[in-house]
Amino acid sequence: AEMFGQLTTGLETAWNKLRGVDVLTKENIAEPMRDIRRALLEADVSLPVVRRFVQSVSDQAVGSGLIRGVRPDQQLVKIVHDELVKLMGGEVSELVFAKPGPTVMLLAGLQGVGKTTVCAKLAFYLKKLGKSCMMVAADVYRPAAIDQLNILGEKVGVPVYAEGTDVKPSEIAKHGLQEAKKKSIDVVIVDTAGRLQIDKSMMDELKEVKKALNPTEVLLVVDAMTGQEAAALVTAFNIEIGITGAILTKLDGDSRGGAALSVKEVSGKPIKLVGRGERMEDLEPFYPDRMAGRVLG
Ligand code: GDP
């Protein structure tokens, strides 16, 4: 299924009810607004976000009056589009680079969300922007994670710094950064250990790694398939360790859209990048306007 497919169809129900009306009124938008509300909830957008969204769209719709050459249903589509863009943060949120380098980008996230894959994709993405990169394997709980990073590093032509599983992650990270400085590497990307759920030892470890590195970017990798839960995770990690943004993975799956639509509003932190596939090329900036365009079909 196409991502947002169900949401797009749900919203179409709303516009269709406004065919033939002369002007948007409180009365004639009532039912379409209920359709919009239902479509967003079914897409797994969190309730407070849906409430604010619907309120803002209704206020604008009722106040919008007649616009020459624009049908009222199209007028509502435009209002929803602009409000969706705003909801997702408006502008693209660019990655920040430290001057002088190296820039440290710390990746965090629960197990299985695609963190290790993102690590390599990000290195590949930055390499294409002309930056030299190094990846640091600070996930010491799964030896397989280090192997996986080595294989991916080879695939994208980016060196991997690893010290096995017997050294503390914060120490590995520190040594990796020293190595990167020696080699005048532009960006150091640090892969950390995930857990199945948030727990104190993971958060403590991340805090320690963060303290050792003073990273410019702390990016939480979240899985789009988890809907509004992704937004809740971004909030929790931000409160606990302080993050600069999120990377949303698995947008190529049949996620309903709740994560893309909720993260910024719920957590205050932007989605900076999205992963939409298993190939190394499948990572790109998060464009709120393009995303809104896709939602509206
Ligand atoms: P980690 O435990 O967070 O490090 O997760 P991995 O990087 O090992 O990824 C878990 C699985 O998700 C792997 O099978 C990846 O190939 C897959 N994966 C990661 N990102 C994406 C994505 O954007 N789309 C799809 N379809 N699969 C992905």
For the segment 97-108, the average pLDDT, to the nearest whole number, is 96
Across the range 88-92, mean pLDDT stands at: 96
Lowest-confidence pick of 37-46, 63-72, 170-179, 249-258: 63-72
> What's the pLDDT score for residue 141?
87
pLDDT digits (tens, 9 = 90+) for 232-287: 999 999 999 999 999 999 999 888 899 999 999 999 999 999 999 999 999 999 99
For range 50-77, the mean pLDDT: 91
State in Å: Cα 224 to ligand 1 middle. 11
* Contact status, residue 137 vs residue 172, Cβ threshold 8 Å: yes
Q: How far is C-alpha 211 from the geometric centre of its chain's CA atoms?
A: 24
Report yes or no: 285 and 94 within 8 Å, Cβ to Cβ. yes
Strand partners, 274: 248, 284
What percent of the chain clears pLDDT 90, i.e. is strictly above it?
A: 86
DSSP-derived secondary structure letter, 224 = G
Q: What is the pLDDT of residue 8?
A: 93
* pLDDT of residue 68 exceeding 80: no
If one residue of 278, 280, 284 were mutated to test the ligand 1 pocket, choosing by the most ligand atoms within 8 A of its CB, it would be 278
Query: Ligand 1 centroid to 13 CA: how many Å?
Result: 34
Which amino acids bring their CB within 6 angstroms of ligand 1? 109, 111-117, 194, 249-250, 252-253, 275-278, 282
User: What pLDDT shows up at residue 63?
Assistant: 84
Residue type, 261: L
Side by side, which strands form the sheet with 160-161?
160-161, 133-138, 187-192, 103-108, 217-223, 245-249, 271-275, 283-285
| pLDDT mean across residues, the chain | 94
Look up residue 155 and give its two tokens: 């695939």
The residue to mutate among 110, 117, 196, having the most atoms of ligand 1 within 8 angstroms of its beta carbon, is 117
Contact 87, 201 (CB under 8 A): no
Residue 2 banded pLDDT, cuts 50, 70, 90: low
The model's pLDDT over 190-211, given as tens digits with 9 standing for 90+, comes to 999 988 888 999 999 999 999 9
Tens digit of each residue's pLDDT (9 = 90 or more) over 134-186: 999 999 988 899 999 999 999 999 999 999 899 999 999 999 999 999 999 99
Pinpoint the alpha helices (H) of the chain: 5-16, 26-42, 47-63, 72-87, 115-128, 143-156, 169-182, 200-213, 228-241, 258-267, 288-296
- Check residue 1 and give its pLDDT: 47
Q: Which two structure tokens, joined as six digits, stand for 173? A: 């990270």
| pLDDT(98) > 50 | yes
The closest alpha carbon to 8, from 32, 38, 39, 54, belongs to 39
